[in-house]
Structure 1
Amino acid sequence: MTDTLVRAVTTDGNFRAIAIDATEMMAEVAKFHEASQLGTTVLGRALLGSLMVSNAILKGDERLAVVINGDGPAGKIVVEASAQGEVRGYVTNPTVELPLTAKGMQDVAGAVGSNGFLQVTKEIGEGDPFTGQVELMTGEIGDDLTYYMAKSEQIPSAVAVSVLVDPDGTVAAAGGFMISALPDASDEDITALEDKLANLPSISSQLVEGHTPMDLLFNLFGKDDVKLLATTEVALYPEISKRDYERMLATLPMKDLQEMLAEDHGVEIVDRFTGKKIQFDEAELSGIIAAKDAEGL
């Protein structure tokens, strides 16, 4: 099954809805980072939430970057996402481990921390990037993105993200939804929605049972009360090739390249987004230096 994101609207015109199932993508992410159950859950929530936020507020080729920086042992979380459904990200400490919560859940809030901020930088058009920043509310990530949408984007929303990881590290389910109130929604409509959300089965349990992103919305609003607007495939950004890294190295000052050659006899680059290591041996680095010198750079 291809990972998908759906965008919909309620037939009464009161709410816009986005839902996502990215279970396969998250399985790949977990392998990349050799993450713990908690680390995968933390990063997964950030990736899912960023995909939905980007779909809600961006268009065309626009992109955004989300940085979550709390005081917890997971460290900083960085995610890049596009309006086209592409995403990548990393957490500083993917192997973070903490005791389960009293409810037997992964302690995401404890790993992320709540003494920090969530920052969203949007690349829109050819102008300078726009950055909005809010304080972390709980460190649960969904709550924090909900607060960002209301505070910085002025769009009252409910963001829910869920990642279920089995004890062996297998990602059993990864999905979520974002419900945003439209101008016609009354206080009574919003209260009724909140009641429904409080009694809804967990997202991960619905996905494990085979429910689709649209099913998540049907279960919330009713099958006849939601209209599908668009479907987007979601996937990780293509990996950066060794050739691309070679071009990046060539932009460094000659002095820095010569120091790498003299002291380390090569260079190792770690791709934070995939965890992969890219090696340039002494001969390869010498070739980059020679080409740069020949061009007079």
Structure 2
Amino acid sequence: MSDQLIKVITKDEAFRAFAIDGTKLVQEAASAHHASRIATVVLGRALLATEILAQATLKGEERLGVKMDGKGPIGNVVTEADAHGAVRGYVTNPQLEPIVNDDDQLNVAGAVGNHGSFQVTKLAPYSKPYLGQSIIVSGEIGDDFTYYLTQSEQIPSVIGVGVTMNPDDTVASAGGFLVQALPGATDAQLDQLDEHLKQMTPLSELLSEKKGPLAVLDDLLGKDNYTSLASVAVGIAAEPPKEAYGEMLATLPSHEVQAMIDEDGGAEVVGRFSGKKHYFESDELEEILSKILKREAEAEEKGDEKSAADNENKQD
């Protein structure tokens, strides 16, 4: 069974909420990047929060990307998601050694840092990209997504995400939630939600009940106190085929591809998001090189034609 995200609205129509169980997708991402214990938690939280944000803000074929640069040792935290449940991401330093706090718990904020920028790019077909920015307020990731969402939409919101690890560094549970106030929410209802958040059972305990996102929603909003709007299967975005990487290589200058053939006898391309390796033999690179040389020749010919036309205009 795939991981799942559920969208609901409270029966008093004061809030809409999203809850996700992404245990499998976080483990898949960690395995693909050979991520360390702390890198798994950082990347996992970011993937979960990005998927929730995507479901809350996107529609149709829109996509969004998030880049967190907190100036911490984990480096950049980069994630992407679409409106259909696919998400992917990476961190600059996936093998980062564990950083712990005084309670001997993984120090996520220490790994991410809290003196940098938080950037969201939304992409829609036939439209210019939308760029939103805020600051990193804690490095805990959920807080940073909450701050961005509240600042960008001016709607009271809270995002919570958590990843719990097994002793063998596999993922025990991973999930999260988003609650947003709707226009009719009163101050009293907002105060009541705040109390529920303070008393909420840890996500690790809720997800261990094997009820998935429902356990989170029941604890957060009250059982039978909400109406389900939709359920979305979520998972890691499919890896592009080797041919797609070949098309990327074809955008390089001819001398760079020629050097790959002469000096290395081939080329290895590693997917940044997937960690998957694709190897191109010299004969494959020769085929790509021929396309590049044809493109460069056509560009040079057009340049010569333009130069000749310019000279003719000057003579006139």
TM-score (norm 2): 0.90
Output aligned runs, 1:191-230, within 5 Å: 191-230=191-230
Could you say which residue in structure 2 is the equivalent of 1:63? 63
Larger radius of gyration, structure 1 or 2? Answer: 2
Worse-matched range after superposition: 2-11 or 273-282: 273-282
Q: Is the 8 A contact 2:37 2:98 kept in 1?
A: no
Q: Counterpart of 1:278?
A: 278
The answer as to whether partners of 1:30 and 1:40 remain within 8 angstroms in 2 is yes
1:25 corresponds to: 25
Does residue 135 of the first structure (1) align with residue 164 of the second (2)? Answer: no
- Write the letter of the residue equivalent to 1:81: A
Moved more, 208-217 or 115-124: 208-217
Aligned position for 1:175 = 175
Equivalent residue for 2:52?
52
Is the alpha carbon distance of 1:111 and 1:99 closer, same or farther for their aligned partners in structure 2, counting shifts above 3 Å?
Answer: closer
Give the stretch that moved more between structures: 218-227 or 254-263.
Answer: 254-263
Larger mean Cα displacement after TM superposition, 49-58 or 149-158: 149-158
Q: Which has the larger displacement, 7-16 or 211-220?
A: 211-220
Match of 1:250 in 2: 250
The Cα offsets for residues 115-171 of structure 1, whole Å up to 9 and x where unpaired, read as: 001100001341110011101000000000000001112222110001111121211
Q: Corresponding residue for 1:76? A: 76
CA–CA separation in structure 1 for the residues paired with 2:16 and 2:105 = 29
Say whether the 8 Å CA contact 1:30–1:169 is kept in structure 2. no
Deviates more, 1:20-29 or 1:98-107: 98-107
The 2-side partners of 1:215 and 1:228 are apart by 13
Separation of aligned partners in 2, 1:186 and 1:268: 58
Look up the equivalent residue of 1:72 and give its one-letter code.
Answer: G
Shift >6 Å, 4+ stretches: none
| CA deviations over 1:243-293 (Å, ceiling 9, x no partner) | 211122122222322232233332221111111221112222122213444
Structure 2 counterpart of 1:164 = 164
Against the structure 1 CA distance between its residues 154 and 116, is the aligned structure 2 distance closer, same or farther, given a 3 Å change threshold? same
CA distance in 1, matches of 2:145, 2:291: 46
- How many residues are aligned here? 297
Flag structure 2 segments of 5+ consecutive residues without an equivalent.
299-316
Structure 1 distance, partners of 2:68, 2:220, is: 29
Could you say what secondary structure the match of 1:240 adopts? coil
Q: Distance in 2 between matches of 1:77 and 1:177?
A: 20
What is residue 259 of structure 2 aligned with on the other side?
A: 259
1:192-231 CA-to-partner distances (Å, cap 9, x unmatched) read 1111111111112211121221221111111221110000
Aligned to 1:91: 91
d(CA) in 1 for partners of 2:269, 2:212: 39
| One-letter amino acid of the counterpart of residue 134, structure 2 | V
Task: Quickly say closer, same or farther: Cα 1:124–1:263, change in 2 above 3 A.
Answer: same
Which residue of structure 1 aligns with residue 117 of structure 2? 117
Give the Cα separation in 2 of the matches to 1:143 and 1:273: 24
Counterpart Cα distance in 2 of 1:102 and 1:155: 35
Q: Shift of the alpha carbon at 1:49?
A: 0.2
Secondary structure of residue in 2 paired with 1:71: coil
Are the counterparts in 1 of residues 20 and 48 from structure 2 also a CA contact under 8 Å?
yes
* 2:36/2:98 contact within 8 Å kept: no
Residues 37, 166 of structure 1: 8 Å contact kept: no
Q: Which letter does structure 1 place at the counterpart of 2:274? A: T
SS of the residue corresponding to residue 228 of structure 2 reads strand
